[in-house]
Each structure stands twice: as structure tokens, then as C-alpha cells.
Amino acid sequence: MTDLTPYLPQLAVAWTAYFIATASPGPAIIAIIATSISQGRRAGLTLASGVLTGSYIWAILTASGLSALIRTYGEAIIVLKIVGGGYLLWLAWNAYRAARKSEETYRAQMAALPALSPRRQYLKGLGIHLTNPKAIFNWIMLTSLGMPPGAPGGVMATFIAGCMAIGICVFLGFALVFSLGPVHRAYLRVRRGIEGVMAAFFAFAGFKLLTTRL
């Protein structure tokens, strides 16, 4: 059994960095908040589960030596960058269209249209995280913080397990808080402003992703 005591200070720094990275506003957090307050707890938790799965996938890939593959196959990251930027711009367009709707039109359409199925909500959250190549580099940075050279495999497993526990608290916590009744009613009063901010944010994130050199 691996003695983790010598690695705990370095793991603590990496876990703190992961908490700050996940709790900071970004495409995933904005989508979780918007879904939770507009469609309820179940939808928010389902989308958050997709985001968490995407984070876990990047963690496993990074632990499996993804950084070496990135250096070898840099073209794949360019493709992922284009796909991710396009997806964020598509989310921006949808948010912009929602912001332009009057309250009467919005309520009528919400009542007439079925909500996204749990499967589609989950895939939406998964897509937001998997199509963001910056998540890859965040995990590479976090791994370098939490895994000193020569550390045994048990340290990596502990690091990923800790990150997943933090991710559950952060992603699902946002979904739970923003699905509360008072929050939902407040959202309906300021919905158009929130949708407008979302549209601007997703458009900025998509443009930034497409034009920034990774």
C-alpha cells in the first residue's frame, strides 16, 4: 500500500487549484446554472453529471499519458479546438434567440415544447466539457502539481479520486442551489437579461477558443 503522507502537501495544492478551476465561471458552470434555474433540479443534475463525466474522462486520459500524445499529434487538438469553438458559438446563438423572446412567447413555448430528455441533457453536459481543449491543458497542469516525478501510481489514483469528489460537490452543488424555488422565480423575472449574458459569454468563449493559440 502506498504511503501518501509525503505527497499530501503537493496533493493539497493540486486539489485547491482544481476547486478554484471548477468553481470559477466557465461554459460548464454557466450551462449548469442556466439549466437548473430554467428547467429544474433534475435537468440541472443530469447536465452536471455529464460535465462531471467529461472531467473524469480527461483525467483518465491525462493519467494515461495524454500529454505525450498531444506533443505527437498536435493536429488533433486543432480539430478539437475548432469543434469546441463552434459548439460554444451554437450555444451563444440559442441563448441569444431565447433572450429576444417576450415573456408571453417564452412561457407559451416552454409549455408547448417537451423538455430535453435526461439522455440529451447528459450528452449536452458531456459535450460542453469534452469539446473544450482547455480542459485538457488544465488537467495536464493539475497533474504536474499533484504528481511529483517518480511518484507511485497510487498517488495518481488518490489525486483523481480527490478531484472527482470535489467535482461532485461543485457541479452537483451548483445544480442543487440554483434549482431552488425562489431562485427559479427570480430567474423568470430577469430571464432575458440572464439569457443575454449567457449569449455574450458563450460567444466570447467560443471566439476566444478559436483565436487563441493553445
d(CA 205, CA 187): 23
Could you read off the pLDDT of 177-198 as tens digits, one per residue? 988 888 777 777 777 887 788 7
The residue whose grid cell reads 493540486 is 14
Residue 54: name the closest of 27, 34, 16, 82 by CA. Answer: 27
Could you read off the pLDDT of 135-182 as tens digits, one per residue? 776 776 676 666 666 667 677 788 888 989 999 999 999 999 988 888
Confidence of residue 199 (pLDDT cuts 50, 70, 90): confident
Helices (H) and strands (E) in the chain, counts: 12, 0
149 and 10 Cβ atoms separated by less than 8 Å: no
145 and 13 Cβ atoms separated by less than 8 Å: yes
The amino acid occupying position 128 is I
Q: Quick one: CA torsion of 114, 100, 49, 33, rounded to 10 degrees? A: -130
What pLDDT does residue 115 have? Answer: 65
